[in-house]
């Protein structure tokens, strides 16, 4: 029987003898490779924290000592050790294990958000709560990556934690990377400490002196904590000869490290000391992303930070993805970069995933990676714009949430020409609630003077991005979904404001006469305003309901904010307007259209197909759209139902 099969809880782990932990780590690593290869997920980060997580659960008492994993994509080993190993075949699938910590799954999971740099603030609050409720002797453990420490929120939390006497153990999981290598002055200092650890390892006399020191200390009766402190002091003296200062200790906090992150004995000693220590403390652990799986370690782009389905031996992808939206944006940005010297690109630690890496290679002097710091990225972009440049900030849609104040007050108020390109907009699915990009249009649309584009296909993405970077009197947003881009959808007509008419019923534009016809033969004229990639669905709906005497005109506004006068004109001629979008039902494009219609005195009934006011569980994009009535079949049923209601209302004697 595998050792892993005997582990159903941290209590089982604590009973294993030290000499068997190496075998357990190997078994966990092999399980991760096999299971994540089959489902997709965050492979590299979890391979890097196997020993670290084992040691944490051996020393601390979860869930009484809460573990908070920053972004929690590195929590797979934690899930395995807390009784969920048998569920990994369902990872990131509907009804299965979440790819992040999930409060619904286990009492050992305290948070759910997959946004970076928040763990230390959670830990600070939890520690305050323990102190106030008489449990101040317990600990809170925050595992934060060096990449997450590039986010300002971490340092806001450290400022509070360092000034307290609360038992917060901050484990810095330092692998030198977020998605890609960590950048900035902070990263340079961490690299010095990592290099220092490597130098200590290879000093010929170091191991000999350490062993001699251990024997001497034991002969003097120094055991346990005192031994560890003495040896740590010796290591500090060696380090001081190489690195003049240590940035963590300058915060006023106890610092242990750097600790070898794949040495179970070293980790056990460090965490045991941390548990005995009273007050906040930092344990600096150096790990290797993808450790134990050569294809991950050697994967230059991101060391398999997140994978699809792969071969568990070679690491090669087993399914080919169609050309994606991101690659189309990359091509167009490169063209713009060659044509215009004022185009600069900004990423928040995600040059590869957002398609900016090729721009960085060709125009390194016009590319800025600010780390996991979306707030700083947007205000820095405002500064670039004030200096006469046109910044393009490429981030995931979900991460715009973090920079709303900066978009509103630092860019919008100053009416600066900053273009935000939002990847993974709309329903993304398997990454869970906090990665869905359904809130961007609702948030951004309230910024005065902003313009928001939602391209329906690759041709429109190219076109609308070009239009966005040509605008110089305020911010612009170009948003597109995750995954492959479908075939282009040509318009039947482009109206003067730039609105595309994708379908006229019977090939004829709607006119005032249609309304009279509808009264005679019960035919209803419906205007569907399709947003972005929902254009294909909207066309399917129009064909589906035609047999029910519902004449559908489908338009793609292209620029959904502000609402086009041509859209309002067509809405006034229709019997019903349906806004079909992958944003939220509250505050999205439908809300903006309703407000514009009301202001114009247009009383045509409006209905809304959009994402409901909830946080969904993880599932595929298709499953979520079907569950919430946003797939084409469900949408057609809704249109029929609404049309029936309007007919009944029209037929009522008082009408």
- Catalytic residue (choose from 194, 289, 456, 558): 289
Question: Which is it for the CA torsion 326, 332, 333, 334, positive or negative?
Answer: positive
Rg (CA), the chain: 28
Q: Among residues 638, 14, 79, which one has the least CA distance to residue 271?
A: 14
pLDDT value at residue 150: 85
- Is residue 76 domain-resident? yes
Residue whose entry in the numeric block shows the structure tokens 């494009």:
589
Range of the domain at 522: 495-651
Question: b/e per residue, 298-334, with b = 16+ CB within 10 A?
Answer: ebeebbbbbbeebebeebeeeeeeeebbbbbbbbbbb
What secondary structure, in 3-state letters, does 458-480 show? HHHHHHHHHHHHHCCCCCEEEEE
Does one domain contain both 214 and 162? yes
Phi/psi of residue 514, each to 5°? -60, -35
Per-run averaged pLDDT (10 residues), the chain, 655 residues: 92 95 96 92 91 97 96 92 94 91 94 87 96 95 88 90 94 75 64 61 43 57 53 47 50 85 93 94 91 82 76 80 87 98 95 94 96 94 97 96 96 98 92 87 97 98 98 98 92 96 79 48 91 97 95 98 97 97 94 97 97 89 93 97 92 76
Does one domain contain both 355 and 468? yes
Does one domain contain both 436 and 515? no
pLDDT value at residue 456: 97
Residue whose entry in the numeric block shows the structure tokens 């690491």:
315
Instruction: Write down the pTM of the prediction.
Output: 0.86
- Distance CA(580)–CA(452), nearest Å, equals 16
- Is residue 538 domain-resident? yes
- Distance CA(150)–CA(154), nearest Å, equals 8
- Is residue 91 domain-resident? yes
- Residue 106 host element (H or E): none
98: CB partners within 8 A, 6+ apart: 92, 105, 112, 432, 617, 618
Cis upstream peptide for 545 (omega within 30°): no
- Distance CA(353)–CA(350), nearest Å, equals 5
**Contact in structure between 528 and 552 (CB atoms under 8 Å):** yes
| Domain end call among 458, 481, 504 | 481
Q: Among residues 117, 145, 143, 112, which one has the least CA distance to residue 432?
A: 112
- Is residue 315 domain-resident? no
- Is residue 311 domain-resident? no
Helix residue ranges per DSSP H, 445-583? 458-470, 512-521, 535-545, 565-573
Give SS3 for 257: strand
**Contact in structure between 374 and 346 (CB atoms under 8 Å):** no
Structure tokens at 354: 């957002």
**Contact in structure between 312 and 32 (CB atoms under 8 Å):** no
Identify the DSSP state of 287.
-
- Count of structural domains, the chain: 3
Q: How far is CA 5 from CA 2, 12, 20, 83, in A?
A: 5, 10, 13, 10
Q: DSSP E strands: which ranges in 320-418?
A: 343-347, 367-369, 390-396
Does one domain contain both 462 and 552? no
Residue whose entry in the numeric block shows the structure tokens 């969904």:
616
Put residue 426 in one of left, alpha, beta given phi > 0 → left and psi -120 to 50 → alpha.
Answer: left
- Distance CA(311)–CA(304), nearest Å, equals 12
pLDDT value at residue 522: 78
358: buried, middle or exposed (CB in 10 Å: 19+, 13-18, 0-12)?
A: middle
pLDDT value at residue 138: 95
Which residues belong to the annotated binding site for Mg(2+)?
Answer: 146, 175
Give SS3 for 69: strand
82: CB partners within 8 A, 6+ apart: 9, 10, 57, 62, 106, 108
- Is residue 451 domain-resident? yes
Length of the chain: 655
Q: Among residues 438, 399, 480, which one has the least CA distance to residue 590?
A: 438
pLDDT value at residue 215: 61
- Distance CA(639)–CA(504), nearest Å, equals 17
Does one domain contain both 246 and 363? no
| Domain end call among 421, 453, 481 | 481
- Residue 367: strand pairing partners: 345
CA atoms within 13 A on the CB side of 442: 20
- Is residue 316 domain-resident? no
- Is residue 302 domain-resident? no
User: Residue 379's domain is classified under what CATH number?
Assistant: 3.40.50.970
Give SS3 for 46: helix
Does one domain contain both 444 and 505? no
Q: Among residues 448, 469, 496, 413, which one has the least CA distance to residue 592?
A: 448
Does one domain contain both 646 and 517? yes
- Catalytic residue (choose from 51, 105, 374, 464): 374
pLDDT value at residue 5: 93
Does one domain contain both 513 and 584? yes
- Distance CA(595)–CA(589), nearest Å, equals 10
Does one domain contain both 120 and 238? yes
Does one domain contain both 477 and 501? no
**Contact in structure between 3 and 278 (CB atoms under 8 Å):** no
pLDDT value at residue 650: 84
Is-catalytic flag, 374?
yes
Residue whose entry in the numeric block shows the structure tokens 């040691």:
55
User: Residue 570's domain is classified under what CATH number?
Assistant: 3.40.50.920
**Contact in structure between 289 and 52 (CB atoms under 8 Å):** no
H helices then E strands: how many in the chain? 25, 18
- Distance CA(291)–CA(298), nearest Å, equals 10
599: CB partners within 8 A, 6+ apart: none
Does one domain contain both 274 and 387? no
Residue whose entry in the numeric block shows the structure tokens 């690299």:
191
Does one domain contain both 178 and 293? yes
**Contact in structure between 110 and 101 (CB atoms under 8 Å):** yes
């Amino acid at each position: 029987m595998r050792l892993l099969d005997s582990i159903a809880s941290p209590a089982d782990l604590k009973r294993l003898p030290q000499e068997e932990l190496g075998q357990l780590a190997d078994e966990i690593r092999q399980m991760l490779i096999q299971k994540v290869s089959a489902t997709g997920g965050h492979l590299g980060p979890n391979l890097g924290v196997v020993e670290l997580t084992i040691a944490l659960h051996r020393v601390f008492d979860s869930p009484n000592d809460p573990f908070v994993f920053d972004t929690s994509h590195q929590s797979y080993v934690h899930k395995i050790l807390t009784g969920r190993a048998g569920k990994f075949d369902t990872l990131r699938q509907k009804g299965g294990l979440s790819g992040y910590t999930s409060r619904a799954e286990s009492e050992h999971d305290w948070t759910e958000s997959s946004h970076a740099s928040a763990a230390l603030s959670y830990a600070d609050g939890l520690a305050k709560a323990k102190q106030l409720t008489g449990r101040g002797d317990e600990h809170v453990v925050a595992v934060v990556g060096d990449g997450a420490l590039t986010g300002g929120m971490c340092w806001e939390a450290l400022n509070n934690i360092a000034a307290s006497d609360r038992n917060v153990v901050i484990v810095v999981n330092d692998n030198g990377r977020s998605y890609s290598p960590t950048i900035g002055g902070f990263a340079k200092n961490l690299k010095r400490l990592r290099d220092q650890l490597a130098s200590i390892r290879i000093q010929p006399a170091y191991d000999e002196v350490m062993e001699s020191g251990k024997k001497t200390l034991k002969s003097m009766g120094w055991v346990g904590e005192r031994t560890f402190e003495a040896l740590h002091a010796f290591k500090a003296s060696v380090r001081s000869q190489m690195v003049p200062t240590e940035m963590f200790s300058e915060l006023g906090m106890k610092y242990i490290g750097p600790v070898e992150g794949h040495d179970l004995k070293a980790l056990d000693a460090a965490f045991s000391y941390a548990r005995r220590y009273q007050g906040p403390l930092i344990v600096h652990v150096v790990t290797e992303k993808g450790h134990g799986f050569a294809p991950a370690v050697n994967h230059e782009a991101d060391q398999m930070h997140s994978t699809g389905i792969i071969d568990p031996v070679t690491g090669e992808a087993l399914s080919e993805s169609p050309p994606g939206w991101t690659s189309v944006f990359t091509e167009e940005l490169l063209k713009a970069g060659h044509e215009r010297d004022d185009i600069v690109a900004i990423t928040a630690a995600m040059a590869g995933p957002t398609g900016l890496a090729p721009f960085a290679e060709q125009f390194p002097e016009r590319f800025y990676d600010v780390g996991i710091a979306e707030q700083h990225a947007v205000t820095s972009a405002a500064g670039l714009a004030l200096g006469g440049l046109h910044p393009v900030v490429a981030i995931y849609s979900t991460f715009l949430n973090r920079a709303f104040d900066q978009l509103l007050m630092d860019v919008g108020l100053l009416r600066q020409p900053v273009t935000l390109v939002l990847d993974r907009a709309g329903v993304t699915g398997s990454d869970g609630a906090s990665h869905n990009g359904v809130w961007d249009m609702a948030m951004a649309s309230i910024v005065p003077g902003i313009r928001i584009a939602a391209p329906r296909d690759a041709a429109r993405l190219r076109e609308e991005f070009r239009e966005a970077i040509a605008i110089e009197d305020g911010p612009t947003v170009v948003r597109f979904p995750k995954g492959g881009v479908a075939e282009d959808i040509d318009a039947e007509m482009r109206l003067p404001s730039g609105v595309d008419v994708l379908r006229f019923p019977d090939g004829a534009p709607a006119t005032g006469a249609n309304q009279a016809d509808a009264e005679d033969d019960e035919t209803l004229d419906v205007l569907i305003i399709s947003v972005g990639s929902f254009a294909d669905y909207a066309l399917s709906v129009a064909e589906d309901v035609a047999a029910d005497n519902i004449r559908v005109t489908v338009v793609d506004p292209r620029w959904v904010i502000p609402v086009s006068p041509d859209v309002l004109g067509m809405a006034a001629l229709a019997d019903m307007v349906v806004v079909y979008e992958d944003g939220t039902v509250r505050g999205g494009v439908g809300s903006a259209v309703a407000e514009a219609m009301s202001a114009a005195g247009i009383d045509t009934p409006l209905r809304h197909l959009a994402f409901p006011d909830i946080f969904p569980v993880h599932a595929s994009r298709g499953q979520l759209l079907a569950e919430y009535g946003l797939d084409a079949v469900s949408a057609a049923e809704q249109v029929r139902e609404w049309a029936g209601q309007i007919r009944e209302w029209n037929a009522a004697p008082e009408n």
